[in-house]
Amino acid sequence: MRSVNNARLQARKLLDDCGLDEITDLDMDLFVAGLVVAGHDAILIEEELSNCDGKIVFGNNKAVIKVNSKIQFQERKRFVAAHEIGHLLMHRNMQLPDDTFTNFNIIEGTENTLKNGRQELEANEFASELLMPENLFLKEAKGKKFSPLLIKQLSERFKTSLTATIFRYLQFEQLHPLCLVFIENGKVKYWKKSNDLKVWLGDYTKLAPPSDSVAAEYIQKDYEFVYKLEEKAQNINKSTWFNLSEYDEDTDFYEYCIPTRRYKTILSIIWEN
């Protein structure tokens, strides 16, 4: 998608204009204050927002980026701020809605699930590249066995949420093939997989996840964390999520879930060793 590639290029250009390789160790309010160097006058504030996680207000001379102070985790606040910076650079003359949780959980190919989905996808891609630059992310992830622990280590390295980190991981064909399934209010909303993962997902869109899936366990437990880190990769059958042809063997796969109880969502990650 051309617009997605442009968003990534915009993030790299911004880093170059600011003379930075990454912003991992910078507070986001300081980074936003310094954007005047790149020709963008803005400030970032945290305040309690109703029914949204972030928003941008364009003025005649200055933009105000607002991040909901009620967000619990700093990693999520960083991504919200980076997302709004993407709007600042790419969508100044467009009518934009306030950004909600759902806006930050779309991936290429699923942006049609949201109104203004293209702009939201672009802002997400911008934020991913800004917080997790491609060259640095691949340096940290390439050649390492995929596991929940690896995603935790990457999220700590770049100060990003587990969800943002796993979405970023999926973008690179050089890394381990994955299938991601996003579940909201007990129903599969959308899914996406690596091209190298030669499987066919069952027809679960708008339906509950399979009864023998790990995702179903989390729904039954009201989105509480069922497994500890070393147990998060649970063994499942290939047929749990995927259709088998007459020539397929029902081999071992793994499923790892990231639940968000507040929003009743689950991100299910499925892979084969």
Q: Would you say 108 and 149 are in contact if contact means Cβ atoms under 8 Å apart?
A: no
Q: What is the DSSP letter of 256?
A: E
H/E element, 187: strand 187-193
d(CA 135, CA 246): 41
Q: What share of the chain is helix, strand, coil (3-state, %, to 5)?
A: 40, 20, 40
* Chain segment 174-231, per-residue pLDDT in tens: 999 999 999 999 999 999 999 999 999 999 999 999 999 999 999 999 999 889 877 8
Domain termination residue (choose one: 77, 100, 134): 134
> Domain boundary residue among 116, 134, 152?
134
Asked if residue 116 and residue 7 are part of one domain, the reply reads yes
CB 74 within 8 A of CB 161: no
Residues 32 and 88 in one domain: yes
Residues 216 and 129 in one domain: no
Q: How many separate domains does the chain show?
A: 2
Q: What is the pTM of this model?
A: 0.93
**Tens digits of per-residue pLDDT, 133-146?**
999 999 999 999 99
Q: What's the CA gap between 26 and 24, in Å, rounded?
A: 6
Domain check: are 107 and 183 in the same one?
no
CB-facing half-sphere around the CA of 267: CA atoms within 13 A:
21
The CATH number for 184's domain is: 3.30.450
Task: Tell me which residues of the chain have a pLDDT lower than 70.
Answer: 1-2, 37-39, 114-115
Could you tell me if residue 157 is inside a domain?
no
Rg (CA), the chain: 19
CATH number at residue 128: 1.10.10.2910
Would residue 151 count as lying in a domain? no
**Do 222 and 129 reside in the same domain of the chain?**
no
Q: Which domain holds residue 240?
A: 177-271
Structure tokens at 64: 């105000």
Domain final position from 108, 134, 160: 134
| Structure-token pair, residue 242 | 């995927």
The answer to whether residues 85 and 38 touch, using CB atoms and an 8 Å cutoff, is no
